[in-house]
């Protein structure tokens, strides 16, 4: 619901703009192993997806992959710069049935990986 306030100031009508609304998200994927967690989040407003790594250690990477027909078509990789932090990837907005996977990898390429979420 958008509320607009109108009031008079020296004979002029002033209308305030509606307040900006924060985006809402739905968790669409999760995995946990090696003491780390990875979540996939879908933006309910625009359908874009981002991955979030939690309990990451310095140097770990959180990765968002977009796959179609078994082929990697896009990805985003972000590296943790401290231990115990949460790190988010950029949002990727490829639609049309593309699949999204979230991963967290340590220096030895170990870590959790979500299943593939189909974004229609």
Residue 87 clears pLDDT 70, i.e. is over it:
yes
Pair 53, 27: CB distance under 8 Å: no
Residue 39 clears pLDDT 90, i.e. is over it:
yes
Most confidently modeled range among 53-62, 88-97, 107-116: 53-62
> In b/e form, how buried is each residue of 13-42, taking b as 16+ CB within 10 angstroms?
eeeeeeeeeeeebeebbebeeeebbbbbbb
Considering only residues 92 and 16, tell me which one the structure prediction assigns the higher pLDDT. 92
Global confidence as pTM = 0.79
- The pLDDT confidence band at residue 19, using thresholds 50, 70 and 90, is low
Q: What percent of the chain has pLDDT over 70?
A: 81
């Amino acid at each position: 619901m958008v509320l607009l306030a109108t009031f008079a100031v020296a004979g002029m009508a002033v209308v305030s703009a509606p307040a900006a609304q924060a985006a809402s998200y739905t968790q669409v994927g999760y995995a946990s192993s090696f003491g780390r967690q990875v979540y996939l989040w879908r933006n309910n407003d625009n359908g874009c997806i981002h991955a979030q790594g939690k309990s990451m250690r310095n140097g770990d990477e959180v990765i968002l992959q977009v796959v179609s027909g078994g082929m990697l078509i896009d990805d985003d990789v972000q590296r943790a710069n401290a231990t115990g932090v949460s790190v988010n990837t950029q949002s990727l907005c490829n639609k049309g049935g593309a699949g999204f996977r979230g991963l967290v990898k340590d220096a030895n390429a170990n870590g959790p990986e979500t299943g593939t979420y189909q974004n229609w």
